[in-house]
């Protein structure tokens, strides 16, 4: 790494903040230790208490109690700390250090929230709860630090942690105390789960990925994913048009400043390659509606690129990225096979990868020491290697986009494709078809609910289950799908009919476009393009 | 000892602790979440519902059998035989000036003759107590909480067509498997008869009998024979109607009653029930409700409702049919 790039890529993780101070903007020296410093977490606790009076918080008793519970915990902690400091006559100090990797990352994450929320309103509605988490995170971070040492390094550090957590998982309002718990565990993990690496004591896990991974495991183990918005978050990123291109451009900023291109690019290349190979072998896409799910694409830019918890050498970064790609690929299959929600694929492997960093470093050292490496070494050396890596990444992404592997329509978006693939007995096609139908049924597509009911009633592509069939027929019937009502009365003679216009509006939203206000003619045209033959006939007759 | 003052042995010990600490923390977290879920009494991940043990079901209700899901204390648990035979369906506006156009059989013919095989129909509308027993046994979700808040002998309301169908399914299984079911009913169920909602024709025949009367008791509206034009439901069978066909109660008024027939234009033909599958579902309800006028409680009157509608004036009654 050149001296210039080292300046741009300061190593973080030293709790004393000694090394950072030489490489970052220091907003001022540490004030003399004083117990007055505790007014800062107190003020943040006050802010959290104030936020509990937001209409959204007040509208839900359990959410209000979650806030007040967090306030009580923080106050108790401050009280104990204040007591201890009073007894020992000690004070606490504060140093302001603004690290670019924090505020740049936070700005990029905020840009993702802004764009995504424009097309999926719950994100904007969540702003108050996000602010509350930030206040809570800063207070917890300060209290952890001041409980263990004299100085707290104030900066933008908690921003990317909170934003990163919330780009992947939120607990529903009824269970929001678990969100505070997740944030707290992220910071505790950062402080306490550490090891020695390259002569320094650093945190092992990316704090947000640690909390996300841990809670993902718990949610899967307890079958409680429905406590969170995880499923919606994973599927609504694509409501924002051209989300891949948007993330790609934002990613370039981070890549340029922090040399993470090899990690993200290699992960993307492995995923694109794996998807292409699987598709060529099985005849159906691996990830249902994309070659890389948008949330995974986001994850490979933001979740695995923390310099403190990833390898530092270029070959190490490539191995790390490749392992992430392979890990997501494998976990998607494992979770799907186990009947667990597949969107956890991008989260679960990050802590494992963080744990493997020292192994990767050692492996790279061994390889570098071997004669094979000497034989492979190129004689030419780039003066700006990161720019060269970025160039390759831009070409790769451009090629994938040109092949229709990113934004725009995708073969897996088309339900008739899955229906046909299922009929032809292609690998996993019936399971994928039912997954898609379950998603659309959840979105209130009565047609999809009726098809699911039919599948369970007939027992051909799913194990027969009369109770489940009735439940799906009832849901479709209440959504006024006549065939489903008939099926509910007589599940022994299954009735089917074509999707209604409303069903099509729900099922044709490839690339996230909202079709609710589109004219009927355009809906049928689009459906025809998706392979719905009845829609082609309707288009011709219009 | 290293430069930063941390003994290497201490470092190794810390890392060993950490290696165990992470899985232990994960197990503790799983246990904490599971425990909090138990405390909250919620199981959002479950696909099947637990029976609703907290649903209040009266231990006793005069006139109803507590050992038979609070069905009427009658030889056939409240089911009345309607013998086979033809009846006049639809309305002739020349004879019934309150008739709606949708009750006309054909443009050229005001009424039709429909032959209905024998069936059994409930004397009363399904009550709150009976529906509560179903909810308690099955854990069926009560979407509209007011459904179970009326007195136990009132007709249940706030139930969708799908809820009514679910009730019929459950009661059929319950009756077929219970030792307390009267032998005549058991025999019917054993030989292929089913508990169901009435078809539109079954309902109308039961309401107006074979003589084509406008109301179950005759051709004139009578406030002393039905619950209508009032502010709320009344206990089932609380208005005596000795003239009513087959001795049935509340066929007019009290609550609208779901049928198993989709709303189709006349002439009525049960074979049409599977036609028009590409139209938005609309199901027939009959009989009018407490808040209706005399026009809507006529035996030939037809109402249509969204099968997901849960309203305080819609309930149902049952038939046992082939």
Q: What is the mean pLDDT of residues A32-55?
A: 93
Would you say A238 and A294 are in contact if contact means Cβ atoms under 8 Å apart?
yes
pLDDT digits (tens, 9 = 90+) for A194-248: 887 777 788 888 889 889 998 998 898 888 888 999 888 887 888 888 899 999 9
Asked if residue A506 has pLDDT above 80, the reply is: yes
Highest mean pLDDT among A117-131, A281-295, A302-316, A330-344: A117-131
**Structure-block tokens of residue A3:** 């001296």
Residue B213 sits in the same domain as residue B300: yes
Tell me how many domains chain B contains: 2
pLDDT digits (tens, 9 = 90+) for A115-169: 999 988 899 999 999 999 999 999 999 999 999 988 999 999 999 999 999 999 9
Q: Do B45 and A468 touch (CB under 8 A)?
A: no
Nearest CB partner across the interface for A218, out of B4, B18, B30: B30
Burial class (CB in 10 A: 0-12, 13-18, 19+), B204: buried
Would you say B15 and B22 are in contact if contact means Cβ atoms under 8 Å apart?
no
What length does chain B have?
322
State the pLDDT at residue B282.
95
Element (H, E) at B319: strand B319-321
Residue A420 sits in the same domain as residue A404: no
Taking the CA of residue A499 as centre, how many other CA atoms within 13 Å lie in the half-sphere pointing to its CB?
29
Residues of chain A above pLDDT 70, percent = 91
Element (H, E) at B314: strand B314-316
Residue B132 sits in the same domain as residue B158: yes
Q: Does A465 fall in a domain?
A: yes
Using omega within 30 degrees of 0 as the cis cutoff, is the peptide bond preceding A469 cis? no
Tell me how many domains chain A contains: 3
Q: Does A456 fall in a domain?
A: yes
Residue B43 sits in the same domain as residue B69: no
Highest mean pLDDT among A333-337, A373-377, A398-402, A455-459: A455-459
Domain of residue B11: give its range: 1-47
Residue A36 sits in the same domain as residue A72: yes
* Interior angle at CA A115, CA A110 and CA A116, nearest 5: 95
Q: Does A240 fall in a domain?
A: yes
CATH number at residue B131: 3.90.1580.10
DSSP strand pairing (B256-262 vs B314-316): parallel
Last residue of a domain, one of A408, A441, A467: A408
Nearest CB partner across the interface for A218, out of B29, B160, B279: B29
Q: Do A217 and B30 touch (CB under 8 A)?
A: yes
- Does any CB of chain A come closer than 8 Å to the CB of residue B4? yes
Residue A179 sits in the same domain as residue A30: yes
Which residues from B are below 8 Å from A223, CB to CB?
A: 45-46
Rg (CA), chain B: 27
Residue B64's DSSP bridge partners are B61, B72
Instruction: Please state, in angstroms and rounded to a whole number, the distance separating the CA atoms of residues B258 and B235.
Output: 18
Give the chain A residue nearest B260 (alpha carbons): A489
ipTM of this complex: 0.86
Q: Does A152 fall in a domain?
A: yes
**What single DSSP character describes residue B245?**
G
Which residues from B are below 8 Å from A467, CB to CB?
A: 48
Q: Does B279 fall in a domain?
A: yes
State the pLDDT at residue A24.
41
- Does any CB of chain B come closer than 8 Å to the CB of residue A468? yes
Instruction: Please state, in angstroms and rounded to a whole number, the distance separating the CA atoms of residues B115 and B201.
Output: 9
- Does any CB of chain B come closer than 8 Å to the CB of residue A131? no
What Cα–Cα distance (Å) separates residue B15 from each residue in A197, A205, A386? 12, 13, 34
Which residues from A are below 8 Å from B273, CB to CB?
A: 486
Q: What is the mean pLDDT of residues A341-350?
A: 88
Query: Which of residues A363 and B20 earns the better pLDDT score?
Result: A363
CATH number at residue A463: 1.25.40
Residue A62 sits in the same domain as residue A151: yes
**Structure-block tokens of residue B40:** 């909250």
Q: Does A196 fall in a domain?
A: yes
Instruction: Please state, in angstroms and rounded to a whole number, the distance separating the CA atoms of residues A310 and A316.
Output: 8
Which residues from A are below 8 Å from B308, CB to CB?
A: 477-480
Q: Does B112 fall in a domain?
A: yes
Which of A92, A103, A91, A181 is CA-nearest to residue A137?
Answer: A181
* Interior angle at CA B293, CA B288 and CA B298, nearest 5: 50
- Does any CB of chain A come closer than 8 Å to the CB of residue B48? yes
Residue B161 sits in the same domain as residue B39: no
Residue A515 sits in the same domain as residue A397: no
Residue A289 sits in the same domain as residue A369: yes
Say how many Å lie between the first and final Cα of chain A, rounded. Answer: 64
Taking the CA of residue A282 as centre, how many other CA atoms within 13 Å lie in the half-sphere pointing to its CB?
21
- Tokens 């006793």 sit on residue: B60
pLDDT digits (tens, 9 = 90+) for A63-106: 999 999 999 999 999 999 999 999 988 889 989 999 898 999 99
Would you say B153 and B227 are in contact if contact means Cβ atoms under 8 Å apart?
no
Last residue of a domain, one of A360, A378, A408: A408
3-state DSSP assignment of residue B44:
coil
**b/e map A359-371, b = 16+ CB within 10 Å:** ebbeebeeeeeee
Asked if residue A415 has pLDDT above 50, the reply is: yes
Nearest CB partner across the interface for A498, out of B33, B160, B278: B278
Which of B72, B56, B137 is CA-nearest to residue B318?
Answer: B72
Residue B235 sits in the same domain as residue B276: yes
Residue B205 sits in the same domain as residue B235: yes
pLDDT digits (tens, 9 = 90+) for B73-120: 999 999 999 999 999 999 999 999 999 999 999 999 999 999 999 999
- Does any CB of chain B come closer than 8 Å to the CB of residue A537? no
Residue B36 sits in the same domain as residue B119: no
- Does any CB of chain B come closer than 8 Å to the CB of residue A178? yes
**Structure-block tokens of residue B308:** 């997901």
Nearest CB partner across the interface for B34, out of A222, A477, A498: A222
Residue A194 sits in the same domain as residue A256: no
Q: What is the mean pLDDT of residues A276-290?
A: 86
Q: Does A312 fall in a domain?
A: yes
Last residue of a domain, one of A342, A375, A408: A408
Instruction: Please state, in angstroms and rounded to a whole number, the distance separating the CA atoms of residues B198 and B287.
Output: 12
3-state DSSP assignment of residue A65:
helix
Query: Which of residues A354 and B167 earns the better pLDDT score?
Result: B167
Would you say A310 and A263 are in contact if contact means Cβ atoms under 8 Å apart?
yes
| Chain B nearest CA to A539, separation (Å) | 17
**Structure-block tokens of residue A516:** 């609710």
Instruction: Please state, in angstroms and rounded to a whole number, the distance separating the CA atoms of residues B29 and A186.
Output: 13
Q: Alpha helix locations (H) across A223-356? A: 230-236, 243-258, 261-282, 294-302, 314-337, 345-355
Residue B146 sits in the same domain as residue B11: no
Residue A151's DSSP bridge partners are A93
Q: Alpha helix locations (H) across A149-195? A: 158-166, 177-192
Nearest CB partner across the interface for B162, out of A192, A225, A474: A474
Would you say A459 and A426 are in contact if contact means Cβ atoms under 8 Å apart?
no
**Structure-block tokens of residue B12:** 């190794």
- Does any CB of chain B come closer than 8 Å to the CB of residue A466? no
Q: Does B163 fall in a domain?
A: yes
Interface A-B, measured as beta-carbon pairs within 8 A, has a size of 98
* Interior angle at CA B134, CA B132 and CA B136, nearest 5: 70
Handedness of CA A280, A282, A288, A292 (dihedral sign): negative
Q: Does A255 fall in a domain?
A: yes
Residue B20 sits in the same domain as residue B81: no
Would you say A229 and B47 are in contact if contact means Cβ atoms under 8 Å apart?
no
Q: Do B25 and A214 touch (CB under 8 A)?
A: yes
- Does any CB of chain B come closer than 8 Å to the CB of residue A31? no
**Structure-block tokens of residue B149:** 């808040």
State the pLDDT at residue A513.
64
Residue B25 sits in the same domain as residue B106: no
Q: Sheet containing B194-196: which strands, arranged edge to edge?
A: B79-82, B119-122, B319-321, B194-196
State the pLDDT at residue B22.
52
Element (H, E) at A94: strand A93-98
Residue A444 sits in the same domain as residue A526: yes
| Chain B nearest CA to A1, separation (Å) | 25
Q: Does A76 fall in a domain?
A: yes
Residue A381 sits in the same domain as residue A433: no
Residue B284 sits in the same domain as residue B155: yes
Nearest CB partner across the interface for B162, out of A219, A467, A488: A488
- Does any CB of chain B come closer than 8 Å to the CB of residue A443? no
State the pLDDT at residue A464.
95
Residue A239 sits in the same domain as residue A188: no
Which residues from A are below 8 Å from B277, CB to CB?
A: 482-483, 486, 495-497
Residue B89's DSSP bridge partners are B112
For B254-282, the DSSP string reads SSEEEEEEE--PSSP-GGGGGS-TTSBP-
Would you say A20 and A14 are in contact if contact means Cβ atoms under 8 Å apart?
yes
Residue A510 sits in the same domain as residue A419: yes
The full 3-state SS of chain B, as one line of letters, equals CCCCCCCHHHHHHHHHHHHHHHHHHHHHHHHHHHHHHHHHCCCCCCCCCCCCCCCCCCCCECCEECCCCCEECCCCCCEEEECCEEEEECCCCCCCCCCCHHHCCECCECCEEEEECCEEEECCCCEHHHHHHHHHHHCCCCCCHHHHCCCCCCECCCCCHHHHHHHHHHHHHHHHHCCCCCHHHHHHHHCCCEEECCCHHHHHHHHHCCCCCCECCECCCCCCCCECCCCCCCCCCCCCCCCCHHHCCCCCECCEEEEEEECCCCCCCHHHHHCCCCCECCEEEECCCCCCCCCCCCCCCCEEECCCCCCCCEEECCEEEC
Which residues fall within 8 angstroms of residue A407, CB to CB, at 6 or more apart? A241, A242, A243, A244, A245, A401, A511
Which residues from A are below 8 Å from B4, CB to CB?
A: 201
Q: Do A214 and B26 touch (CB under 8 A)?
A: yes
Residue B125 sits in the same domain as residue B271: yes
Phi, psi of B102 (to 5 degrees): -70, -10
What Cα–Cα distance (Å) separates residue A336 from each residue in A273, A286, A287, A422? 20, 11, 11, 17
Phi, psi of A203 (to 5 degrees): -70, 145
Instruction: Please state, in angstroms and rounded to a whole number, the distance separating the CA atoms of residues A364 and A312.
Output: 11
Q: What is the mean pLDDT of residues A269-292?
A: 88
Q: Do A480 and B308 touch (CB under 8 A)?
A: yes
**Mean pLDDT for all residues in chain A:** 87
Tell me which of A313-317, A517-521, B25-29 is least confident.
Answer: B25-29
**Structure-block tokens of residue A326:** 């392979």
DSSP strand pairing (B194-196 vs B85-89): unpaired
Instruction: Please state, in angstroms and rounded to a whole number, the distance separating the CA atoms of residues B101 and B308.
Output: 26
State the pLDDT at residue A30.
61
Which regions of chain B are under pLDDT 50? 1-11, 14, 39-49
Q: Do B46 and A223 touch (CB under 8 A)?
A: yes
Nearest CB partner across the interface for A221, out of B30, B169, B277: B30
Tell me which of A196-200, A283-287, A475-479, B220-224 is least confident.
Answer: A196-200
Give the chain B residue nearest A340 (alpha carbons): B45
Residue A350 sits in the same domain as residue A474: no
Burial class (CB in 10 A: 0-12, 13-18, 19+), A248: buried
Q: Do A224 and B48 touch (CB under 8 A)?
A: no
pLDDT digits (tens, 9 = 90+) for A2-27: 333 333 343 333 333 333 333 344 44
Q: Does B52 fall in a domain?
A: no
Q: Does B168 fall in a domain?
A: yes
* Interior angle at CA B41, CA B40 and CA B44, nearest 5: 95
**What single DSSP character describes residue B154?**
S
Domain of residue A443: give its range: 414-541
Nearest CB partner across the interface for B274, out of A194, A468, A486: A486
Q: Do B162 and A483 touch (CB under 8 A)?
A: no
């Amino acid at each position: 790494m050149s001296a210039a790039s080292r300046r741009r890529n300061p190593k973080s993780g030293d709790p004393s903040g000694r090394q950072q101070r030489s490489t970052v903007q220091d907003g001022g020296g540490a004030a003399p230790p004083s117990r007055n410093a505790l007014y800062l977490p107190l003020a943040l606790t006050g802010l959290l208490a104030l936020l509990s009076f937001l209409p959204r918080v007040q509208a839900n008793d359990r959410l209000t109690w979650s806030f007040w519970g967090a306030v009580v915990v923080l106050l108790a902690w401050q009280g104990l700390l204040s007591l201890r400091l009073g007894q020992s006559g000690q004070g606490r100090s504060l140093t302001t250090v603004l690290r670019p990797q924090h505020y740049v990352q936070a700005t990029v994450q905020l840009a993702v929230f802004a764009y995504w929320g424009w097309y999926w309103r719950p994100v904007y509605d969540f702003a108050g709860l996000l602010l509350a988490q930030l206040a809570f995170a800063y207070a917890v971070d300060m209290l952890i630090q001041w409980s263990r040492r004299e100085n707290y390094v104030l900066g933008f550090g908690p921003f990317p942690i909170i934003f990163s957590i919330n780009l992947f998982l939120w607990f529903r309002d009824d269970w929001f105390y678990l969100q505070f718990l997740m944030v707290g565990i992220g910071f505790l993990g950062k402080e306490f789960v550490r090891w020695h690496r390259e002569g320094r004591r650093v945190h092992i896990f990316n704090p947000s990925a640690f909390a996300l991974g841990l809670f993902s495991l718990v949610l899967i183990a307890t079958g409680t994913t429905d406590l969170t918005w995880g499923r919606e978050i994973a599927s609504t990123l694509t409501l924002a048009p051209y989300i891949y291109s948007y993330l790609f451009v934002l990613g370039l900023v981070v890549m340029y400043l922090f040399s993470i291109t090899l990690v993200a690019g290699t992960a993307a290349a492995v995923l694109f390659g794996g998807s292409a190979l699987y598709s060529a072998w099985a005849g159906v896409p691996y990830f249902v509606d994309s070659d890389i799910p948008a949330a995974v694409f986001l994850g490979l830019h933001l979740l695995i690129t923390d310099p403190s918890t990833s390898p530092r050498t270029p070959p190490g970064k490539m191995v790390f990225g490749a392992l992430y790609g392979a890990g997501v690929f494998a976990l998607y299959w494992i979770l799907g096979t186990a009947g667990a929600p597949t969107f956890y694929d991008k989260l679960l492997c990050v802590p494992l990868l963080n744990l493997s960093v020292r192994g990767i470093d050692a492996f790279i050292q061994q390889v570098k020491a071997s004669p094979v490496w000497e034989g492979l070494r190129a004689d030419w050396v780039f003066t700006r290697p990161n720019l060269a890596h970025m160039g390759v990444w831009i070409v790769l992404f451009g090629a994938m986009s040109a092949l229709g592997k990113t934004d725009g329509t995708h073969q897996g978006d088309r339900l008739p494709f899955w229906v046909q693939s299922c009929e032809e007995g292609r690998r996993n096609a019936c399971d994928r078809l039912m997954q898609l139908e379950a998603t659309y049924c959840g979105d209130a597509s009565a047609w999809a609910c009726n098809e699911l009911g039919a599948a369970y009633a007939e027992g051909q592509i799913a194990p027969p289950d009369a109770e489940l069939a009735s439940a799906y027929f009832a849901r479709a019937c209440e959504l006024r799908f006549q065939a489903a009502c008939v099926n509910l009365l007589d599940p022994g003679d299954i009735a089917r009919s074509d999707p209604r216009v409303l069903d099509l509006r729900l099922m044709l939203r490839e690339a996230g476009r909202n079709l609710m206000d589109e004219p009927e003619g355009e809906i049928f045209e689009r459906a025809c393009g998706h392979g719905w033959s009845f829609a082609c006939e309707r288009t011709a007759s219009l | 000892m290293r430069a930063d003052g941390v003994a290497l042995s201490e470092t190794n010990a810390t890392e060993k602790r950490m290696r165990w600490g992470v899985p232990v923390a994960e197990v503790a977290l799983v246990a904490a979440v599971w425990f909090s879920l138990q405390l909250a009494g919620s199981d959002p991940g479950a696909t099947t519902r637990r029976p609703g043990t907290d649903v209040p079901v009266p231990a006793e209700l005069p006139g109803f059998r507590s050992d038979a899901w609070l069905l009427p204390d009658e030889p056939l648990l409240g089911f009345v035989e309607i013998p086979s035979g033809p009846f006049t369906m639809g309305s002739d506006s020349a004879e019934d000036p309150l008739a709606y156009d949708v009750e006309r059989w054909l443009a050229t013919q005001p009424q039709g003759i429909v032959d209905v095989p024998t069936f059994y129909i409930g004397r009363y509308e399904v009550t709150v107590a009976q529906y509560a027993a179903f909810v308690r046994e099955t854990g069926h979700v009560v979407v509209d909480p007011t459904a179970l808040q009326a007195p136990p002998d009132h007709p249940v309301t706030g139930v969708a067509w799908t809820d009514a169908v679910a009730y019929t399914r459950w009661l059929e299984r319950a009756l077929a498997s219970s030792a307390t079911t009267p032998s005549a009913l058991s025999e019917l169920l054993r030989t292929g008869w089913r508990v169901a909602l009435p078809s539109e024709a079954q309902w109308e025949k039961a309401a107006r009998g074979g003589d084509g009367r406008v109301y179950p008791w005759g051709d004139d509206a009578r406030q002393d024979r039905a619950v209508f034009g009032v502010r709320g439901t009344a206990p089932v069978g609380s208005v005596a109607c000795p003239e009513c066909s087959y001795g049935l109660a509340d066929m007019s008024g009290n609550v609208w009653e779901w049928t198993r027939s989709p709303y189709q234009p006349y002439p009525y033909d049960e074979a049409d029930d599977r036609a028009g599958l590409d139209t938005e579902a609309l199901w027939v309800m009959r009989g009018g409700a407490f808040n209706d006028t005399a026009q809507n409680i006529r035996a030939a009157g037809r109402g249509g409702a969204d099968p997901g509608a849960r309203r305080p004036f819609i309930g149902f009654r049952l038939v046992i049919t082939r």
